[in-house]
Structure 1
């Protein structure tokens, strides 16, 4: 009677019978999940392809929303979706003419499965969206190479960055990679941030495009000049007028926040290093400088009018300082900044007029910073008379701070900036023109007019 209960001969068969539905369920569920996930991946690829195809229409003249939508619908009606395994999908297309963006939304029911079909999310329609942005025939005038920090491009207080005919590219993936605060304004043909942007519609024209791909250093292949032995040591010209410098420092420091305070630090440098060379009472003295290696830098004080002959000026182990009342002018000149202390500072009421070389290894480059320089060091423009700065600022390790009171570079045919960061504070107006046909100074490859491109934005 109890022998049957003790008999274990059929246990394996019974266990197999009990487990078989579970095993089949797991296997079927796995097949269902793989199929469901694969459909979504293929639908995403199709959406990416359609969005990219639509965005390419922006590279043509006079693209319209209806034209772009017609192109995408035509692709779908041709049976293109079958290449991805879909007999039909429902599409929805939207465009942003200002940004050059096309968004494609694709919807379709999932295929019937074995196990998971009746469970959420596997029974819901696939709903996939892709956005592509076109940048075609654009002019690039600002590339901020900083990839992590906030404010790779920033404007604060009442500053203005005007680049109507060209694009501003910030590589920072920070949620505030581009910053415009207070009454400041950043205005450009396109503002592209690798991350996000701080500010509202009053601070931007147009609003920045988010999540842009990193823009590679366009001058990374440009060879740096060879630095020889010192031709000049601690070159200094003009008067130092300490009381005016101190007054300017107080004015600048009180006009805005910490960035302005940093700008004012350079005023002390001028006061401490200006020398009384060839002074002649209060009359202005003109000095003519030749290209060469200036060890210890160059200091230009009040009542000095420094005229630069064409060529490359190597500023080594010291700054390029133009203090209050100093004047520096030169056509077809470039500055190579090498050494930890080799920054430039253009103080209030300094007068500057500089154009980059037409030919040679630094053609089109006005300032070239040593690629081994300390990262984050600051180059300052406080001058209210720096209207002609024609060429490219290449400061791959440094921060360019503009904190003047009057427009900067507005009388230049073009000005391009490739820097770790570009920061503006106080009340300056930095004007970046793009009249490349209006000058015989060449535009380095990678800035100025660049080829068209279309990229996907998540």
Structure 2
């Protein structure tokens, strides 16, 4: 757009005489004038660059020739513009320019006025470009993070187009609250997810919007997973969300689970702890928070910032735990052989001193007391579910006791071997309240040892012996799912645990392995008629990565 032609009429001789006597260093004055012009420009906006140039051209005409600017017809204003600085601002500007004008000075100001719109457009465009590129980078980072988060979800469960779209919207808003539109699509035969994000461009000065036509920003990212020839199965799920060491492997502990996925839902920095001398073999180890590996031997894919896995058993209907007590504080000891029937066992059951108990198929409810098997005693049972309800309701397999148990094949508790009821009440001195016990026999969860939040040698917390506890070297067969919604499972035996089971699944609040046990988690689901509860089956993908 060209500026309007200006006609000039001569100003008074008095004004001209004031101009003709001024001498000053041109460079310094030009710098001062540019600073004032910049302030005027900032106060009045950036959308009328050409109009501002016309004003400066007219002022140049005024200073160069000592003449005022008139309109096309006498009595009309020469310019019509939304740029309207105050009279005081214009008077000060004109005064500076009139002082500058001597000889060729007016020509310099006129040239400067003509070049100023382009200069300001260049500077404004550069500032806008830098701001827009920063926002574009933020949007691309959000797209990358969103695609990776959805791909991690693909490693822990099946995906549908609707679920991918919902996750794309949720994660995009979490990563960049300004996103206006998010889309997620399954591609590459369901083994990759493509995310596209869009938002309005908001350059701070508006130069790119006016001159460059920039209105929207867009970013896309693709994340892929690798199909597993051997489908991955979820074998360990730690439910605690604020737990240090949701899965904790003390010095020398081992987990052997080559076909399994281990997941900690803890969001803390040390959601999974693998200490020196520990050995972890698994298909995938995933943590919502971080993983701390202190020189442990690892044969697994370690993945952090994983999405949490909702408790797959949280809504599973519980069998009735009411009813009268079949026994009260029953003790089987001194090499006695006894067969027990399903029912309610109040105040606990103790099997000790080389005794043997055989459990008939059914549901055994331990209300207000523990199940303790110790001192070379034996407990055997097929098709059984052990439920724990109320206070002090724990299981403890100690010493060299023999444990051979398998879950029911059918019925309300099919697949459930050990089940901590929602009516379970944790003790006043439970691990969640800072308690621990102190030794194997100190199992009082109300009055046990205190000070258990103080780390010992090796940077480890004391063992929680007043919780669910497997200390026996002969707990070899535990077929089914062990579900401890609020409880901690401590394993500190010296020999393999559960290694003779076709499969064992642990869904616990916290899992602690101490003093060199080898927790062996087989995943031979087809090797037994005992079913895997819904939500704990094969997953079938691993190795999340970003791609083009």
Q: TM-score, normalised by structure 1?
A: 0.67
Give the secondary-structure state (helix, strand or coil) at the position aligned to 2:45: helix
- Cα contact 1:55–1:102 (8 A) shared by 2: no
The aligned residue for residue 425 of structure 1 is: 514
Alpha-carbon shift at residue 144 of structure 1 (Å) = 0.2
Distance 1:54 1:214, change over 3 A: closer
Alpha-carbon shift at residue 58 of structure 1 (Å) = 9.5
Q: Within the alignment, does 1:198 sit opposite 2:327 as a pair?
A: no
Alpha-carbon shift at residue 450 of structure 1 (Å) = 3.6
The aligned residue for residue 40 of structure 1 is: 137
- Cα contact 2:149–2:306 (8 A) shared by 1: no
Q: Within the alignment, does 1:145 sit opposite 2:213 as a pair?
A: no
The aligned residue for residue 251 of structure 1 is: none
Give the secondary-structure state (helix, strand or coil) at the position aligned to 1:208: strand
- Of residues 409, 414, 433 in structure 1, which corresponds to 2:498? 409
The aligned residue for residue 40 of structure 2 is: 19
Q: Within the alignment, does 1:389 sit opposite 2:440 as a pair?
A: no
**Superimposed CA distance per residue, residues 160-213 of structure 1 (whole angstroms, 9 cap, x where no aligned partner):** 111111100001111111011121112211000111111146432225211111
**Superimposed CA distance per residue, residues 231-254 of structure 1 (whole angstroms, 9 cap, x where no aligned partner):** 211111013xxxxxxxxxxxxxxx
Alpha-carbon shift at residue 230 of structure 1 (Å) = 1.4
Distance 1:425 1:54 in 2: 34
Distance 1:32 1:367, change over 3 A: same
Alpha-carbon shift at residue 371 of structure 1 (Å) = 2.2
The aligned residue for residue 231 of structure 1 is: 326
- Cα contact 1:181–1:203 (8 A) shared by 2: no
Alpha-carbon shift at residue 33 of structure 1 (Å) = 7.5
- Cα contact 1:236–1:298 (8 A) shared by 2: yes
Distance 2:270 2:47 in 1: 46
Q: Which has the higher contact order (CA 8 A, sep 6+)?
A: 1
The aligned residue for residue 304 of structure 1 is: 355
The aligned residue for residue 269 of structure 2 is: 175
- Of residues 399, 402, 409 in structure 2, which corresponds to 1:351? 402
- Cα contact 1:55–1:133 (8 A) shared by 2: no
- Cα contact 2:482–2:508 (8 A) shared by 1: yes
Q: How many residues align?
A: 348
For 1:60-209, what aligned pairs fall within 5 Å after superposition? Answer: 132=223, 134=225, 137-200=231-294, 202-209=296-303
Distance 1:102 1:156 in 2: 38
Distance 1:181 1:296 in 2: 38
Deviates more, 1:334-343 or 1:31-40: 31-40
Distance 1:17 1:381 in 2: 77
The aligned residue for residue 341 of structure 1 is: 392
The gaps in structure 2 that reach 5 residues or longer are: 1-14, 16-35, 49-123, 157-179, 182-190, 196-200, 209-216, 427-431, 433-465
Alpha-carbon shift at residue 42 of structure 1 (Å) = 4.7
**Superimposed CA distance per residue, residues 303-343 of structure 1 (whole angstroms, 9 cap, x where no aligned partner):** 21100000000000000000111100000001110012100
Aligned-residue RMSD, C-alpha: 4.0
Distance 1:55 1:159 in 2: 27
